[in-house]
Amino acid sequence: MGINNKIEQKKQIKKNVTYEFHHLGIPTSEIKPNEFYSPVMKMYTSDNPGKFKVQWHRFEKDTPLSKSLTTQPHAAFKVNDLAAAIEGEEVLLGPYEPIDDFKVAIINDCGVPVELTQTELSDEELWKRAENGQGSIYKS
């Protein structure tokens, strides 16, 4: 089996589930511009202005999220079938709907948190809904 076949084999993680990179989440203790606050998760989230889809996550000391989620970076992937994608996985969080029509689960991938999302909404629509409090974690 050549290297290209090995790479292609790794890309298809689960049969009939597609994975599209969404963002890289990085914990931070610095206040960032344009943060959205979640009173439920006790965390702030903001997009990095660069072109490679990085999100900053800043957590309050009493966040209900686990230490692995608040201290380790995570990759996030948009999937076509969240239920199938998390089947048989160790789920660290979720599945839940933090923003209306945006389903999320975080799994443990050999000690690394990986966020999986399912939605038909654009990033602009997601942030607009967060800003308007349309979701379980952004309502005040």
CATH of the domain at 123: 3.10.180.10
Residue 50 lies in domain: 15-131
Residue 137 forms part of a structural domain: no
Residue 56 forms part of a structural domain: yes
Q: Which residue has the tokens 């890289």?
A: 24
Residue 3 forms part of a structural domain: no
* Environment class of 51 (CB within 10 Å of its CB; exposed 0-12, middle 13-18, buried 19+): exposed
Residue 136 forms part of a structural domain: no
- pTM, full prediction: 0.83
Residue 137 and residue 42: Cα distance in Å, rounded?
9
3-state secondary structure of 9: helix
Question: What would you measure as the largest C-alpha separation in the chain, in angstroms?
Answer: 54
| pLDDT of 140 over the 80 cut | no
- Least confident segment among 1-10, 34-43, 58-67: 1-10
C-alpha distances in Å from residue 75, one per residue of 24, 39, 78, 118: 5, 23, 10, 14
* Environment class of 9 (CB within 10 Å of its CB; exposed 0-12, middle 13-18, buried 19+): exposed
Residue 6 forms part of a structural domain: no
Total domain count, the chain: 1
- Per-residue pLDDT of 43-57, as tens digits, reads 999 988 888 999 999
Residue 72 forms part of a structural domain: yes
| Per-residue model confidence (pLDDT) at position 9 | 47
Residue 43 forms part of a structural domain: yes
Residue 139 forms part of a structural domain: no
- Give every CB contact of residue 69 below 8 A, 6+ residues apart in sequence: 92, 93, 106, 113
